[in-house]
Amino acid sequence: MKAVITGGSRGIGREIALAFAREGATVIACSRNTGYLEKLHEALVVANPEGKHRCLPADCSRREDLLSFFEQVQQNNEIIDVLVNNAGMYRQAGLLEEPEGLLEEMLDLNVFSAYHCSRFFSKGMKKQGRGHIFNICSIASLQAVPTAGAYTVSKHALLGLSRTLREELRPFGVKVTAVIPGATMTSSWEGSDPVDTRHLMEPADIASAVLNAFRMGPGANVDELRINPLAAPPSR
């Protein structure tokens, strides 16, 4: 089994990568930070010494980086069983006051990276008649966050992309799950006022839910996986 994970070096992406490695998968991950990628590779080898893991530098907001990443993944004609579109960013700014170009930046990373990855890797999935795509959305995909306007728009778009992909790939036996986590302890909270961590989920919780959705039989799919903190989430 082979799993491709974008934005896999930290947070939710890292925990999902390790969860699939422990499940026996060979993991191919990318991110912009080579230092974190090296640490991820070390952890993947510990989690699954038999896997031929690769951690490749790529800025998923740049089309040329994605194309290079695709070529490296496919250099051995590998068929991908799982794609996790996790690459993304959060910026706190109201839609009407945000810096010029922020929405375009958000769309490039939060939406277009998932769009291009899904189009590319789903070709092999369709041919083999199986596969699973996970798009890491957000609670902001369902309800507007007025202090994060461009982020909200991008995550709404990612949920729409997930729903469209699901209907197009369903006849080929390929599953698509939109993962919709609430407040989770990731780097997006850096710089925020101190919060009670009891109101935040751990990235490992999201990874566990994703893996359980993947483990379901071929006749079942979790269309949208919503995960919320037990306690009321903090405000930004």
Q: At 74, is the pLDDT very low, low, confident or very high (cuts 50, 70, 90)?
A: confident
Residue 186: per-residue pLDDT: 67
Alpha carbon dihedral 235, 154, 132, 54, in 10-degree steps, equals -90
Residues β-bridged to residue 227: 181
Residues identified as active-site: 151
| Average pLDDT value over all residues in the chain | 92
Q: What digits encode the pLDDT tens for the residues 94-108?
A: 989 899 999 999 999
Residues ≥6 apart with Cβ < 8 Å to 2:
25, 26, 27, 28, 78, 79, 80, 81, 82
Pairing of strands 2-6, 82-85: parallel
Rounded CA gap, 175 and 128, in Å? 13
Write out the two tokens for 191: 């710089």
Q: What is the pLDDT of residue 231?
A: 73
Following DSSP, what letter does each residue of 138-193 receive, concatenated?
Answer: -GGGTS--TTBHHHHHHHHHHHHHHHHHHHHHGGGTEEEEEEEE-SB-SGGGTTSP
**Segment among 51-60, 165-174, 188-197 with least mean pLDDT:** 188-197
pLDDT > 70: what percent of the chain?
92
What does pTM read for this prediction?
0.92
| Mean pLDDT score, 186-207 | 69
CA gap 166, 200 in Å, rounded? 29
Find the helix packing angle between 34-47 and 11-22, rounded to 10°: 20
Q: Which of 3-12, 33-42, 50-59, 188-197 has the lowest mean pLDDT?
A: 188-197
Is the predicted pLDDT of residue 233 greater than 60, yes or no? no
Work out the pLDDT band at 76, boundaries 50, 70, 90: confident
| Rounded-to-5 percentages of helix, strand, coil across the chain | 45, 15, 35
How confident is the model over 135-152, as a mean pLDDT? Answer: 94
Q: How far apart, in whole angstroms, are the C-alpha atoms of residue 185 and residue 18?
A: 17
Tokens, residue 220? 């079942």
Nearest Cα to 56, choosing from 87, 12, 89?
87
Give the per-residue pLDDT at 85. Answer: 98
Predicted confidence at residue 202, as pLDDT, reads 92
